[in-house]
Structures are given as C-alpha cells and as structure tokens.
Copies of this chain bind each other. A is one copy, B any other.
Amino acid sequence: MDPVRPYTEVLDRLKSAGLRPTRQRLALAKLLADSGDRHITAEQLHDEAQRAGVRVSLATVYNTLHQFTAAGLLREVVVEAGRSYFDTNTSNHHHFFHQDRGELVDIPAGAVTVSELPVAPEGSAIESVHVVVRIRDDAN
C-alpha cells in the first residue's frame, strides 16, 4: 500500500519463511504475485523472468519454486508425467486439465463437491484430496 516500500509484503513473507530477500527471490516473487492466479512451470517462469530483464538461472528458479512451496506460498500440482505446475492459488481447490493444450485451470469453488471422503488406510492420514477433471476440445 505504501508506494515507497512496494516490497514490504513480499519481504515479510520471505523473512517469516527464513529466506534471505535476495534480488532473485524478490523478482520471482513479484512476477508471481503480480500476475494473478496462475499455473506455471519452472521453465515458463524462467522465460518470463528473462523477458522481464531479470537475470536468474534455471537452477535458482527451481530452488525458489520449491522453497516457496515449502513456505506455503505456492502449491505444486502434478497431472502429467514429466512436468510440475506451481499454483499461485494455495487454497484447496480442484482443476480442469486441458489435455489438448496442456493447460491447468481452476475449477470454481463449489462447482465440484467430494461429498464422501474415504477412510485413510490403517496407519496413514489424509493429507490432501484433489480432483482432476480431464477435458478435451469438443468434437462439435
């Protein structure tokens, strides 16, 4: 809110995650925060950083995405082999996966309901419940 210190919020989040506010982390956090809800891969974020003139290595993008995920700032979503998406929306929600385009899209809250939850097998506890609705271009 204070135009003189535009990074205050991101700074606080990094601090409370025990992460030093480096140039690279601040820039990546800003790119992620400024773009609304998204589902982005490491390579995509790396490209985006390059285009924005931010010099950062792909290794650092991977490190940062995992650190942000561990800190609860991102959520990792896997729906196809060999590719991880990072979701800027960390709330519990489900996804459409558009198989023709390789695109993840949030399912609006309430549009899908898991009404009966299974009991976790003996000795284990449920950590998350995720519904993936695979869709294809309509054959109309």
Contact = CB atoms under 8 A, between A and B. Distances in A.
Interface of A: 78-84, 94, 96, 98-99, 105, 107-108, 110-121, 123-140
B99 A127 contact: yes
15 contacts: A78-B78, A78-B81, A81-B81, A81-B82, A81-B84, A82-B82, A96-B121, A98-B124, A99-B127, A108-B118, A114-B115, A124-B136, A126-B134, A126-B135, A129-B132
Nearest to A99: B127
Given A78-B79, A112-B116, A121-B135, 14 more contacts: A78-B78, A81-B82, A94-B118, A105-B121, A111-B116, A112-B117, A113-B115, A115-B115, A120-B138, A124-B135, A126-B135, A127-B134, A129-B134, A130-B133
* Copies per assembly: 2
A136 B121 CA distance: 10
A138 B78 CA distance: 23
B135 A120 contact: yes
A135 B139 contact: no
Nearest to A135: B124
A124 B137 contact: yes
Given A78-B78, A81-B78, A130-B131, A137 B114 contact: no
